[in-house]
Structure 1
Amino acid sequence: MTARHTDWELDTRGLRCPEPVMMLHRQLRKMQVGEVVELLASDPATLRDVPQFCEFLPHRLVATLNNDVDYRFWIEKGERP
Protein backbone atom coordinates (compact mmCIF):
# COMPACT_ATOMS: atom_id res chain seq x y z
CA MET A 1 0.00 0.00 0.00
CA THR A 2 1.21 3.48 -0.77
CA ALA A 3 1.25 6.18 1.90
CA ARG A 4 -1.84 8.34 2.08
CA HIS A 5 -2.04 11.95 3.15
CA THR A 6 -3.62 12.12 6.60
CA ASP A 7 -4.30 15.20 8.72
CA TRP A 8 -5.90 13.32 11.63
CA GLU A 9 -5.92 9.77 12.96
CA LEU A 10 -8.82 8.27 14.89
CA ASP A 11 -8.26 4.86 16.51
CA THR A 12 -11.55 3.12 17.35
CA ARG A 13 -10.18 -0.42 17.49
CA GLY A 14 -11.94 -2.44 20.19
CA LEU A 15 -15.14 -0.38 19.97
CA ARG A 16 -18.39 -1.75 18.57
CA CYS A 17 -21.16 -0.23 16.46
CA PRO A 18 -22.27 2.57 16.67
CA GLU A 19 -19.29 4.06 18.54
CA PRO A 20 -16.76 4.19 15.64
CA VAL A 21 -19.15 6.16 13.41
CA MET A 22 -20.22 8.43 16.27
CA MET A 23 -16.57 9.21 17.03
CA LEU A 24 -15.89 9.78 13.32
CA HIS A 25 -18.78 12.23 13.14
CA ARG A 26 -17.47 14.10 16.19
CA GLN A 27 -13.95 14.24 14.69
CA LEU A 28 -15.18 15.53 11.33
CA ARG A 29 -17.00 18.40 13.03
CA LYS A 30 -13.64 19.64 14.37
CA MET A 31 -11.93 19.49 10.98
CA GLN A 32 -11.65 21.92 8.07
CA VAL A 33 -13.14 21.13 4.65
CA GLY A 34 -10.63 19.11 2.62
CA GLU A 35 -8.77 17.65 5.60
CA VAL A 36 -8.45 13.85 5.77
CA VAL A 37 -8.95 11.61 8.78
CA GLU A 38 -7.66 8.05 8.90
CA LEU A 39 -10.09 5.88 10.85
CA LEU A 40 -8.76 2.63 12.34
CA ALA A 41 -11.43 0.13 13.36
CA SER A 42 -11.83 -3.51 14.32
CA ASP A 43 -15.62 -3.85 14.13
CA PRO A 44 -16.67 -5.55 10.85
CA ALA A 45 -19.83 -3.40 10.86
CA THR A 46 -17.68 -0.40 9.91
CA LEU A 47 -17.26 -1.92 6.44
CA ARG A 48 -20.95 -1.18 5.92
CA ASP A 49 -21.42 1.82 8.23
CA VAL A 50 -18.57 4.11 7.13
CA PRO A 51 -19.42 4.10 3.39
CA GLN A 52 -23.11 4.70 4.22
CA PHE A 53 -22.15 7.53 6.58
CA CYS A 54 -20.05 9.17 3.84
CA GLU A 55 -22.83 8.75 1.29
CA PHE A 56 -25.42 10.29 3.62
CA LEU A 57 -23.26 13.27 4.61
CA PRO A 58 -21.10 15.39 2.32
CA HIS A 59 -17.84 13.52 3.03
CA ARG A 60 -15.72 11.55 0.58
CA LEU A 61 -14.45 8.06 1.31
CA VAL A 62 -11.00 8.35 -0.26
CA ALA A 63 -9.78 4.78 0.33
CA THR A 64 -10.22 1.68 2.43
CA LEU A 65 -7.85 -1.05 3.46
CA ASN A 66 -8.83 -4.13 5.42
CA ASN A 67 -7.38 -7.38 6.60
CA ASP A 68 -8.66 -10.03 8.96
CA VAL A 69 -8.46 -7.88 12.12
CA ASP A 70 -8.16 -4.20 11.24
CA TYR A 71 -9.98 -1.87 8.90
CA ARG A 72 -8.67 1.51 7.74
CA PHE A 73 -10.66 4.24 6.09
CA TRP A 74 -9.49 7.60 4.76
CA ILE A 75 -12.28 10.16 4.80
CA GLU A 76 -12.06 13.68 3.41
CA LYS A 77 -14.29 16.25 5.04
CA GLY A 78 -16.79 17.63 2.58
CA GLU A 79 -18.60 20.92 2.47
CA ARG A 80 -22.22 21.19 3.53
CA PRO A 81 -24.51 22.29 0.68
Structure 2
Amino acid sequence: MTDTDSTLTADAVLDASGLNCPEPVMMLHQYVRDLSAGGLLKVIATDPSTRRDIPKFCVFLGHELVEQQEQSGTYLYWIRKKLD
Protein backbone atom coordinates (compact mmCIF):
# COMPACT_ATOMS: atom_id res chain seq x y z
CA MET A 1 0.00 0.00 0.00
CA THR A 2 1.36 3.40 -0.92
CA ASP A 3 1.28 6.55 1.15
CA THR A 4 -0.96 8.37 -1.29
CA ASP A 5 -2.19 10.96 1.21
CA SER A 6 1.24 12.60 1.23
CA THR A 7 1.78 12.51 -2.54
CA LEU A 8 -1.62 13.50 -3.95
CA THR A 9 -3.34 16.74 -3.04
CA ALA A 10 -7.07 16.62 -3.66
CA ASP A 11 -8.89 19.67 -5.01
CA ALA A 12 -12.06 18.49 -3.22
CA VAL A 13 -13.07 15.76 -0.77
CA LEU A 14 -16.31 13.79 -0.77
CA ASP A 15 -16.94 12.08 2.56
CA ALA A 16 -19.61 9.47 1.89
CA SER A 17 -18.93 7.58 5.14
CA GLY A 18 -22.00 5.82 6.47
CA LEU A 19 -23.89 6.05 3.18
CA ASN A 20 -24.97 2.95 1.27
CA CYS A 21 -25.44 2.24 -2.43
CA PRO A 22 -26.48 4.14 -4.48
CA GLU A 23 -25.87 7.31 -2.43
CA PRO A 24 -22.04 7.47 -2.69
CA VAL A 25 -22.11 7.27 -6.50
CA MET A 26 -25.02 9.72 -6.73
CA MET A 27 -23.02 12.20 -4.64
CA LEU A 28 -19.93 11.45 -6.71
CA HIS A 29 -21.79 12.52 -9.87
CA GLN A 30 -22.49 15.94 -8.34
CA TYR A 31 -18.98 16.44 -6.95
CA VAL A 32 -17.30 15.51 -10.25
CA ARG A 33 -19.67 17.80 -12.14
CA ASP A 34 -18.60 20.75 -9.94
CA LEU A 35 -14.87 19.93 -10.22
CA SER A 36 -12.77 21.66 -12.86
CA ALA A 37 -11.37 19.53 -15.71
CA GLY A 38 -8.25 17.69 -14.54
CA GLY A 39 -9.18 18.26 -10.90
CA LEU A 40 -8.53 15.58 -8.29
CA LEU A 41 -11.32 14.37 -6.00
CA LYS A 42 -10.71 12.26 -2.91
CA VAL A 43 -13.65 10.03 -1.96
CA ILE A 44 -14.01 8.48 1.49
CA ALA A 45 -16.59 5.69 1.76
CA THR A 46 -17.55 2.84 4.08
CA ASP A 47 -19.86 0.90 1.74
CA PRO A 48 -17.98 -2.13 0.32
CA SER A 49 -20.01 -1.89 -2.92
CA THR A 50 -18.00 1.24 -3.80
CA ARG A 51 -15.10 -1.10 -4.63
CA ARG A 52 -17.16 -2.16 -7.64
CA ASP A 53 -19.23 0.96 -8.31
CA ILE A 54 -16.58 3.69 -8.28
CA PRO A 55 -14.16 2.01 -10.74
CA LYS A 56 -17.13 1.33 -13.08
CA PHE A 57 -18.24 4.96 -12.72
CA CYS A 58 -14.77 6.11 -13.78
CA VAL A 59 -14.56 3.78 -16.79
CA PHE A 60 -18.08 4.61 -17.95
CA LEU A 61 -17.60 8.39 -17.76
CA GLY A 62 -13.93 8.54 -18.76
CA HIS A 63 -12.44 9.75 -15.47
CA GLU A 64 -9.14 8.38 -14.15
CA LEU A 65 -9.11 6.31 -10.97
CA VAL A 66 -5.65 7.39 -9.83
CA GLU A 67 -5.52 5.35 -6.63
CA GLN A 68 -7.73 3.31 -4.35
CA GLN A 69 -7.03 1.98 -0.87
CA GLU A 70 -8.78 0.16 1.93
CA GLN A 71 -7.97 1.03 5.53
CA SER A 72 -9.88 -0.80 8.28
CA GLY A 73 -13.21 -0.85 6.47
CA THR A 74 -12.84 2.61 4.98
CA TYR A 75 -12.40 2.86 1.22
CA LEU A 76 -10.39 5.72 -0.25
CA TYR A 77 -10.40 6.75 -3.90
CA TRP A 78 -8.59 9.49 -5.81
CA ILE A 79 -10.37 10.37 -9.05
CA ARG A 80 -9.05 12.76 -11.68
CA LYS A 81 -11.81 14.38 -13.73
CA LYS A 82 -11.38 13.95 -17.46
CA LEU A 83 -10.28 16.92 -19.50
CA ASP A 84 -13.20 18.49 -21.36
Of 26, 33, 38, the match for 1:34: 38
Q: Secondary structure at the match of 2:68?
A: strand
Task: List alignment gaps of at least 5 residues for structure 1.
Answer: none
Larger CA deviation: 71-80 vs 7-16: 71-80
Seq. identity, %: 44
Measured in 2, the distance between the counterparts of 1:56 and 1:76 equals: 14
Matched, 1:57 2:41: no
Q: How many residues are matched?
A: 80
Q: Secondary structure at the match of 1:25?
A: helix
Which structure has greater helix proportion? Answer: 2
Alignment of 1:1-81 (within 5 A): 1-2=3-4, 3=6, 4-80=8-84
- TM-superposition CA deviations, 1:15-68 (whole Å, max 9, x none): 000000110111011111100000000000000000000000021000001023
The alignment yields a C-alpha RMSD, in angstroms, of 1.0
Q: State the one-letter code of the partner of 1:75.
A: I
User: Residue 58 of structure 1 contacts residue 79 of structure 1 at CA under 8 Å; is this kept in 2?
Assistant: no
Task: List alignment gaps of at least 5 residues for structure 2.
Answer: none
User: Residue 64 of structure 1 contacts residue 74 of structure 1 at CA under 8 Å; is this kept in 2?
Assistant: yes
Q: Secondary structure at the match of 2:48?
A: coil
